[in-house]
Chain A
Amino acid sequence: MMDFGFKLSPSSAVNLDTVDRARYDRLVQLVPDARTCIDCGSCSATCTAAPWSGMSVRKVLLGLQRGRDDEVDAMLSKCMLCGKCTMVCPRGINTRQLILTLCRLDRKGEVVR
């Protein structure tokens, strides 16, 4: 990385050159609607699991694109599939399908069988 004379805290630095987006790319292939997310945060506001893992579909999608796989998995592991995010999504994204599909992918973006 270039030296700008100041540093980001290494824990929150996102280096897009080293991020493996295989999982996100595969997800978008399987659930193309994932691309239409406008980051409005309706899902974050309504999530039943949010108090326990900070779960939010918006953050999951961002995390995937930024290579934050551990955070994504931690969030997903508390999702209860209650479907509130689907109900409030202004883009009509089938978030439950998105989450279930994502749970089926391993870190390399392969569907487990």
Chain B
Amino acid sequence: MRERFASHFDPFVIPFLVGMAFVLGYCLIAMIRVILQLPKEDRRRFLVSLITPKQIWINVRDIFLNCLIHVKLWQRNKMLGFMHSSIAFGWFMIILLGHLEVILFVPERIHLFYYPIFFNYFVAETEQTIQGSMLMFLMDFFLLMILSGIAIAIIKRFASRIVGMRRTTRLSLLDRVGLYSLWAIFPLRLLAESFTAHISGGSFLTIPANWIFRQFLGNDLYALPTWWAYSIALGVFMCVLPFTRYMHIPAEMLLIPMRNAGIRIRHPRKGFASLEVYSCPACGVCIDACPMSVLKVNCKDTTVYLNRQLRRGNERRIAEISDKCLLCGKCTAVCPVGVQGPELREAQRARRKYALSPSYAGINVRPMASAVAGGAGGASGGVLYFAGCMTQLTPSIRRATASLLDKAGVRWQMMDPDGGLCCGRPLMMAGRTEQARELIAKNLEIIRASGCDTLLLSCPICYKVFKEDYPLSDIRVVHHSVFFQELIASGQLKVRREEGHKLVWHDPCELGRGCGVYEEPRAALAAAGELVEAGKHHAESICCGGSLGSLSLGFEQRKAMTRNALDNLTVADPAEIVTGCPLCLATFVRAADRPVRDIAEILDTRS
């Protein structure tokens, strides 16, 4: 091992140094800004989590698994997983090994930023020693790994179907600059290292390449310009990084610990929201996943484009995209970073100014409260069944639920026999959280008056808001599918199983992705018939298209989404489609070619 230059410097490192200084400075300032923009209690919570040993371990593990290995992408799509993890992990290992080489061979140069990156130019190492050959081999190995990833990336850009993506993001101009410089970095590194391999040493990749080049080049004059090119590619990439989608690399490393600390979006643009926007890698996985994408016009209204417009500050488009979304949450479920598309949109909607704001303070709920106070479940315990607005339009669900409760001998009463108040969730979806709080207070008054210990809901939209936003810690809030499954399991409800009668369960967005209820309804259905699965199910189930989430989607556009969701549900040719949401039910019934029924109706006919 010997150092080739006494000065330890060459001007070609300058582009790299400029880029490095710029990107580090930019990220540091951005990070401090994001942390300062957090509300006080959130900031405290985050900083405390950074010094909690258990949290540190979780953060390190999550950053390693998500940023370097891209576990979530692997689970979705092996090809994409390999592409991303080979580039990210390979690059990380090259940087790490570069530092290791410096520490091992020239520890006195560790303060020079560029030494680990351009090690092979400055230090002539020999592959004769075990250490040297091992490190050289690893360097070439990881470089090969990255190059294979880059090859897939290039294929993906021109023919995304080969790697299993129907659609991919349309890149902006700067994104393209970043992309092409990223593609250039590693082939240039291979070339540069190959040109100097006979001096500085190399391994299975660089030495043969060096031999081939020397056959027709014959001199070393090409080495320095290639190192220049490598450094410039790095410099360009790092200089444009903050303005491209590659900002997700540093942003995600902050996003993960913040999310682990339980920070949520509080402001539509600042703090955690801006961090999520910058963490979007614009991979485009959400485009194929979005139920709206069945119509090509809606492709530009997916979460990846929302993030782009938020970065650009294009208010007209932000409003348009935010209003259109069904808030089904599928983009978050498939997102490798976990950007919360629906929450981001709700925050944008909450920003809107209105000339007229509703007020529910004047609504007198005392008659309703006193009606439930004297009911069957009154005074001590019992089940209070809240049918909700949507169930009023599908009375069959209400009848079936009532009949099942009676068959199981449950002590229960209805909260809204003659129609009640809305639960508040639709207002929250429209971004009118303050008004929703008023409705919550009114409903609470009724629930408290009843003295129930269980609140039963047959509508997942209500279920989610009662579970998350109502201060009901002493009352069990339960969806009817879960409640009936428990009654079946405990033997209180006897259900006859009809062999060969195929039933498919449609996971309503609010129940599945929204509240994580997947298995109980399936277990209940399996007791009544033969359960089959849809093409996409569980967290990837497709929204029926009827969602209250969308403020601007018209009837005709929704129809196409409903048909698409139905096609997905009927792949296993079920006799009946079963769901647990009155809104999904009403939406499907209009377009389905076979019976669609609520889980309560199915169980009621079999018990």
Q: Which residues of A contact B (CB under 8 A)?
A: 33, 46, 48-49, 51-52, 73, 76-84, 87-88, 92-94, 96-97, 100, 102-107, 112-113
CB–CB B355/A87 < 8 A = no
Count of B residues near A, CB < 8 Å? 37
Beta-carbon contacts under 8 Å, B532-583 to A? 546, 548, 551-556, 583
Measured between C-beta atoms, what is the minimum distance from A81 to chain B in Å? 4
| Contact A88 to B358, CB < 8 A, known contacts A78-B363, A80-B422, A81-B432 | no
On chain B, the residues within 8 Å of A73 by CB distance are: 356
CB–CB B355/A48 < 8 A = no
CB–CB A112/B353 < 8 A = yes
Q: Which of A51, A52, A81, A103 contacts B426 (CB 8 A)?
A: A81
Q: Measured between alpha carbons, how far is A76 from B424 in the docked complex, in Å?
A: 16
On chain B, the residues within 8 Å of A51 by CB distance are: 419
CB–CB B356/A84 < 8 A = no
Quick one: closest B residue to A80, CB to CB?
Answer: B422
Name 28 interchain pairs, CB-CB below 8 A, sorted by A: A48-B419, A73-B356, A77-B359, A78-B358, A78-B363, A80-B360, A80-B422, A80-B424, A80-B426, A81-B422, A81-B426, A81-B427, A82-B390, A82-B422, A83-B426, A83-B548, A83-B583, A84-B389, A87-B393, A87-B586, A94-B552, A94-B555, A96-B426, A96-B430, A97-B323, A97-B552, A104-B353, A104-B355
On chain A, the residues within 8 Å of B419 by CB distance are: 48, 51
Q: Measured between alpha carbons, how far is A88 from B392 in the docked complex, in Å?
A: 12
CB–CB A104/B354 < 8 A = yes
On chain B, the residues within 8 Å of A77 by CB distance are: 356-359
Q: Measured between alpha carbons, how far is A96 from B393 in the docked complex, in Å?
A: 17
CB–CB A80/B355 < 8 A = no
On chain A, the residues within 8 Å of B556 by CB distance are: 92
On chain A, the residues within 8 Å of B355 by CB distance are: 103-107, 112
Q: Measured between alpha carbons, how far is A67 from B429 in the docked complex, in Å?
A: 31
On chain A, the residues within 8 Å of B553 by CB distance are: 94
Q: Measured between alpha carbons, how far is A51 from B419 in the docked complex, in Å?
A: 9
CB–CB B548/A96 < 8 A = yes
On chain A, the residues within 8 Å of B420 by CB distance are: 48
Q: Measured between alpha carbons, how far is A84 from B556 in the docked complex, in Å?
A: 17
Quick one: closest B residue to A93, CB to CB?
Answer: B555
Measured between C-beta atoms, what is the minimum distance from B231 to chain A in Å? 49
Q: Measured between alpha carbons, how far is A46 from B553 in the docked complex, in Å?
A: 21
Q: Which of B389, B554, B583, B586 contacts A33 (CB 8 A)?
A: B554
| Contact A100 to B430, CB < 8 A, known contacts A33-B554, A80-B421, A81-B422 | yes
On chain A, the residues within 8 Å of B389 by CB distance are: 48, 80, 82-84
Q: Which of B362, B426, B546, B551 contacts A82 (CB 8 A)?
A: B426
| Contact A52 to B432, CB < 8 A, known contacts A94-B552, A104-B353, A112-B354 | no
On chain B, the residues within 8 Å of A93 by CB distance are: 555
Number of contacts between A and B (CB, 8 Å)? 94
Q: Measured between alpha carbons, how far is A42 from B170 in the docked complex, in Å?
A: 44
Q: Measured between alpha carbons, how far is A92 from B355 in the docked complex, in Å?
A: 26
CB–CB B393/A48 < 8 A = no
Quick one: closest B residue to A72, CB to CB?
Answer: B356
Q: Contact mask B336-353 → A, CB, 8 Å, 1/0? A: 000000000000000011
Q: Measured between alpha carbons, how far is A102 from B356 in the docked complex, in Å?
A: 8
CB–CB A92/B356 < 8 A = no
Q: Measured between alpha carbons, how far is A37 from B354 in the docked complex, in Å?
A: 24
Q: Measured between alpha carbons, how far is A73 from B548 in the docked complex, in Å?
A: 23
Q: Measured between alpha carbons, how far is A97 from B359 in the docked complex, in Å?
A: 19
On chain B, the residues within 8 Å of A88 by CB distance are: 393
Q: Which of B430, B546, B554 contacts A94 (CB 8 A)?
A: B554
Measured between C-beta atoms, what is the minimum distance from B178 to chain A in Å? 35
Quick one: closest A residue to B546, CB to CB?
Answer: A87
Further contacts, 19 of them, CB under 8 A, given A76-B358, A81-B548: A48-B392, A48-B420, A49-B422, A77-B358, A78-B363, A80-B424, A84-B389, A87-B390, A87-B393, A87-B546, A92-B555, A93-B555, A94-B554, A96-B430, A102-B356, A103-B356, A106-B355, A107-B355, A112-B353
On chain A, the residues within 8 Å of B548 by CB distance are: 81-83, 96
| Interface presence of B517 (CB below 8 A) | no
On chain B, the residues within 8 Å of A81 by CB distance are: 422, 426-427, 429-430, 432, 548
| Contact A52 to B363, CB < 8 A, known contacts A77-B356, A82-B422, A97-B551 | yes
Measured between C-beta atoms, what is the minimum distance from A10 to chain B in Å? 26
Beta-carbon contacts under 8 Å, B14-53 to A? none
On chain B, the residues within 8 Å of A46 by CB distance are: 392-393
Quick one: closest B residue to A73, CB to CB?
Answer: B356
Q: Measured between alpha carbons, how far is A77 from B352 in the docked complex, in Å?
A: 17
Quick one: closest A residue to B551, CB to CB?
Answer: A97
Quick one: closest A residue to B587, CB to CB?
Answer: A87
Measured between C-beta atoms, what is the minimum distance from B346 to chain A in Å? 13
CB–CB A80/B439 < 8 A = yes
CB–CB B357/A78 < 8 A = no
Q: Measured between alpha carbons, how far is A87 from B392 in the docked complex, in Å?
A: 12
Quick one: closest A residue to B360, CB to CB?
Answer: A78
Measured between C-beta atoms, what is the minimum distance from B459 to chain A in Å? 10
Q: Measured between alpha carbons, how far is A88 from B583 in the docked complex, in Å?
A: 11
Beta-carbon contacts under 8 Å, B474-508 to A? none
On chain A, the residues within 8 Å of B554 by CB distance are: 33, 92, 94
Measured between C-beta atoms, what is the minimum distance from A88 to chain B in Å? 7
Q: Which of B363, B390, B430, B432 contacts A84 (CB 8 A)?
A: B390
CB–CB A84/B392 < 8 A = yes
CB–CB B427/A84 < 8 A = no
On chain B, the residues within 8 Å of A113 by CB distance are: 353
CB–CB B430/A80 < 8 A = no
Q: Contact mask B416-451 → A, CB, 8 Å, 1/0? A: 000111101011011010000001000000000000
On chain B, the residues within 8 Å of A79 by CB distance are: 358
Q: Measured between alpha carbons, how far is A52 from B421 in the docked complex, in Å?
A: 10
Q: Contact mask B387-409 → A, CB, 8 Å, 1/0? A: 00110110000000000000000
| Contact A96 to B439, CB < 8 A, known contacts A51-B419, A79-B358 | no
Measured between C-beta atoms, what is the minimum distance from A42 to chain B in Å? 10
